[in-house]
Structure 1
């Protein structure tokens, strides 16, 4: 230890690194007035001020909030594990009652996307910030808990997070997610999805003893995915998007801060994938009109071709919306409240029909197509669904999208009016 910074002069009983070394998680040599690292990199070297020796703060020492705030306010605080994770810049104030009432007031069908954007912007207010280019520390517990516990967040995002938690097990046990059809990979599964499938199996079997190994495996596979250029073949693009979504879901929904800290790695890649998927969806729509007539039951080849086309087309469309939703939620969790991309809704379509999506064979699909209601939702306009659909027509994915746009209470009320429930 340098002679000019003896322990006897440090009232806190331990040495304090300079702010730049703490920020970079590097060892500080504690030289005065500037440490060697700051001198070499021409950084402004500042050491923390001497601790206050006055009386203890009036807040109870047993208060979790006081303890957490004091830790994050201490420039010398370092994590017990080496993770490169995010810190939201400001504490998010909970939305007031007046705002929540205005958000919940949907007197007409919508523009729901515009309403959602306005609600998020009002919620963020002056404290909304762009996503940091390099994420260095995790959100303070106060910021994160305020956001998660807010009524607005739960109303729009809570249901989707519940479905995210189920996705890794669904993939392993049923070969599907709400946005990926069970028969999509029946013939061939690209390598990116093979790796993600294996990661899901490990994730589902994780224990306290193997959690560190599972985390390392997931983050390594995710890093490998990000390091590879986005493919050009549509089948490879959708597989890459499914893999990235599954990795992100596992990192966010693990309820382990070590996992959550790696979510920033995949976020730019998901944004790039959304643009590739958007191009594929628009190209497909320009080449193939959505079939509107009846399907022949015999010969079965016609029904099979229509079924396979539906599986790929709707998986692409759903995956695009799922990726956009994931990007919005992740940026929202990082403190950016300007996260909904209105432009991605333009030209987008998705078919809302649980009977079609859940059909187990070409024959079952053709019968459902001819006898059941199905709704082609364009540009996230659910007006016709709200007016004419039944509760059983809307599957889990449709409910995820509707709740994100309308809020959980309104969708629950609509389902109840149709004889169903959320």
Structure 2
């Protein structure tokens, strides 16, 4: 009689590694992007590859206010797990660029130049070291989301998209949260330094890598020392947070242990700046179904319909603030999830205008 006990997958058995026996793929096979085969679960059935067919169907709400919205769906996602075999790095900044279709992201071909499975595996290896020191989230702690196979692929997908941001910024001076027009017209020193650091990082070689890493350390320390989030202007704080996000993405997902330690030490600064910028940012108004005010009379609609030359600039600043705060906390959450297996999600209650035509104009 065959045993009904779940056995380790064949890849973990061959590598002599412990298997978490996740279904349809164990975490180790997901991280390494290899086929995960289990011995037959049914007597007489031959082993076969188990694959998860990813189906993208994300729903995003375009608006939510600073106060409690009535019946507002906020950044809700409805999707089964994305197939790990289809995870690919971002070759452009399409992460927040999806037009009128809800999160209609293309899967772009490419290797793992931005974030290799080895780096993800190294970050995830810290989970076993930290788990004995951490308490499991209680039933009332709804902010902490435990890791599972369904979420793991999505988080790795987001990590690869985030890891491509510095290269996109170096090539185009424009990302899903840094607008080229604002950058060129205002030319803030913080973003100039970030652009040069990103360009230098993209050109790194084994011979100049030590110099590149020292430059990153110097630029980030210089930025943090120069900014007081309570005294600088809103636009200067925006540029500083955008630059810090670039530095955090590079240092967290490069794979260098020293860079990662520096980024972890600077994480409280990132959270503080994001919270301060959020408090100074106008939120999108409730939709017509949530308010008796006509949609055409909402503040953002008036900015477009009135003096377009002047108000477009104002809308661009506000939209950049909203997107930057979201991406900053997304970087923190994605890395924290990979490292610890869960994330304590803040009560963000922010939105962005999910229309590529407006942001790309």
TM-score of the superposition, structure 2-length normalised?
A: 0.55
Report what 2:233 is aligned to.
233
Q: 1:223 aligns with which of 221, 227, 241?
A: 221
Q: Tell me, which stretches of 5 or more residues in structure 1 are unaligned?
A: 1-62, 67-90, 120-137, 297-301, 360-422
**Cα 1:204/1:293, change in 2 over 3 Å:** closer
**Cα 1:308/1:276, change in 2 over 3 Å:** same
Distance 1:294 1:282 in 2: 15
Say if 2:127 and 2:341, in contact at 8 Å, map to a contact too: no
Mapping of residues 44-59 of structure 1, within 5 Å: none
Report what 2:156 is aligned to.
158
Residue 261 of structure 1 aligns to a residue in which SS? Answer: helix
Q: Tell me, which stretches of 5 or more residues in structure 2 are unaligned?
A: 1-13, 26-51, 62-72, 82-118, 129-146, 287-297
1:154 Cα deviation from its structure 2 partner: 4.3
Distance 1:108 1:249 in 2: 26
Residue 180 of structure 2 aligns to a residue in which SS? Answer: coil
Report what 1:344 is aligned to.
348
Q: 2:300 aligns with which of 290, 310, 332?
A: 290
Structure number with the bigger relative contact order (C-alpha 8 A, sep ≥ 6) is: 2
1:65 Cα deviation from its structure 2 partner: 7.1
1:175 Cα deviation from its structure 2 partner: 1.2
Report what 2:319 is aligned to.
314
The count of aligned residue pairs is: 242
Residue 338 of structure 1 aligns to a residue in which SS? Answer: strand
**Cα 1:292/1:261, change in 2 over 3 Å:** same
Report what 1:178 is aligned to.
176
Residue 353 of structure 2 aligns to a residue in which SS? Answer: strand
1:151 Cα deviation from its structure 2 partner: 4.0
1:94 Cα deviation from its structure 2 partner: 7.3
Larger Rg: 1
**Cα 1:162/1:115, change in 2 over 3 Å:** closer
Say if 1:195 and 1:221, in contact at 8 Å, map to a contact too: yes
Mapping of residues 32-111 of structure 1, within 5 Å: none
Say if 2:283 and 2:351, in contact at 8 Å, map to a contact too: no
Distance 1:174 1:107 in 2: 27
TM-score of the superposition, structure 1-length normalised?
A: 0.48
Distance 2:240 2:190 in 1: 6
The answer to which structure has the higher helix fraction is 1
